[in-house]
Amino acid sequence: MTVRVRFAPSPTGMFHVGGARSALQNWIYAKQQGGVFVLRIEDTDAARNKPEWTEGILSALDWIGISRGSYEGPYFQSANAGEHRAAAARLNESGRAYYCDCTREDVQARTGSQYQGYDGYHRDRGLGPGPGHALRFRTPDEGTTVVVDLIRGEPTFENKLIEDFVIARGDGSPVFLLANVVDDMTMGITHVIRAEEHLPNTPKQQLLWEALGAKPPIWAHVPVVVNEKRQKLSKRRDKVALEAYRDEGYLAGAMRNYLMLLGWAPSGDREIVPWSVIEDEFRLDEVNLSSAFFDEKKLRAFNGEYIRALPVAEFIDACQPWLTGTGTIAPPPWQPEEFDADAFAAVAPLAQTRIAVLSEIVPNVDFLFLASPLIDEAAWTKTMKDGSAALLDDAVAAFEALESWDAESLKSTLEAVGAERGLKLGKTQAPVRVAVTGRTVGLPLFESLEVLGRERTLTRMRAARLRLV
């Protein structure tokens, strides 16, 4: 038997990080088993679907390493609508489903509760199809439905506690439960790997598989992804869009690595590991049962490690979208003709050790490419105290006299200026840094001044001095 797994997102918004994790788990499992990964776009909610959302799914999968052409599909659920309706008809004809015209208010009136499920009122009343007549599945009155789950064992559900659920609406259109089952059957899906939030629907889907004369797939329900308050990640409340992390400058390798740790861990006391190790060691039956905490701070730390591990040339290339303003990323504060590739290459090794996401490269190097620095006013107020004007005067004079404009000479010269005033280097260089870069923190100062050059450095220091008059 060839293992066939599927990833079936809906094109109704940005690509959720939880969905990305499910896609990766399915992808790895298929690869381990010599099987097939199928991409199915569940696009039957026409009111909410947009073509750009589908393209967003494909692009996001590309980014995390599931590239187009390496999987089967994408298929579109809407293209299988005829099979969905045919399956509903077969279930009705076989007696496994029946029509019902009860409204929710009707059920509440009979049961006396808005929380009690459907009471089977139309089971044996012989109602035929018609406007407003929903088709309900006839759940067995007795016995149990056992779900074989690679992660959760064999969850067992009493059939009498499963209401006769709707499989086709009053207008004849099949609901998600039936469409999902029919699509999986049509595509020969053997394993369904998805989040545990779908587990309550699984016995219903398994009953549909059996009623349609097919063997159910093997299930694997992975833990739901939650925020720091242990609430399920929400698009409305949490930062969950994979594209947002990509555009902020997270590396695909770091994101892949981190997502796979949500509910699972590689062998040994390690978390940051090569992707080949994850592909080799991941096991569905080793996935934890407890909810997986998506810790953005931890992801950020992961990403910083991945950035620092890049060869410098790859780091320079990775920064280009933020330096040049290409794609969907916000343009930098300088004009294209102001960007100096050689200057950036000179400071790139320094910047690489100081940023956690690639978008942070801009505020670290913008002073190199602007006619004048972007002054952080809070930093200016905090740093430019009494005595700063005289210190800048002395520093300018000392720098003007330098024969060699290099980091070591600049450092020793400014140390001497500070020593005459009884100041340590940290206190001495603070006004110079703000004058030249506009900020109190950033790349190593003297290496930055070396790259910026004598003329531009002195011009900025003089301008700062005049502002202090």
- Count the Cβ atoms, other than its own, within 10 Å of residue 236: 5
Judged by DSSP in three states, 232 sits in strand
Q: Which pair of structure tokens corresponds to residue 47?
A: 């009111």
As a whole number of Å, the CA-based R_g of the chain is 31
- Other residues' Cβ atoms within 10 Å of the Cβ of residue 3: 17
Distance CA 384, CA 468 (A): 8
Angstrom distance (rounded) from CA 430 to CA 426: 6
Backbone angles phi, psi at 38, to 5 degrees: -110, 130
Question: Is 235 a catalytic site residue?
Answer: yes
- For 268, half-sphere exposure in the C-beta direction (CA atoms, 13 angstrom radius) is 7
Query: Which of helix, strand or coil describes residue 323?
Result: helix
Tokens standing for 65? Answer: 């390493």
Catalytic member of 235, 239, 382, 424: 235
Query: What angle, 0 to 180 degrees and rounded to 10, lies between the N-to-C axes of helices 296-309 and 252-260?
Result: 130
Side-chain-facing half-sphere of 356: CA atoms under 13 Å: 8
Which residue numbers are catalytic?
235
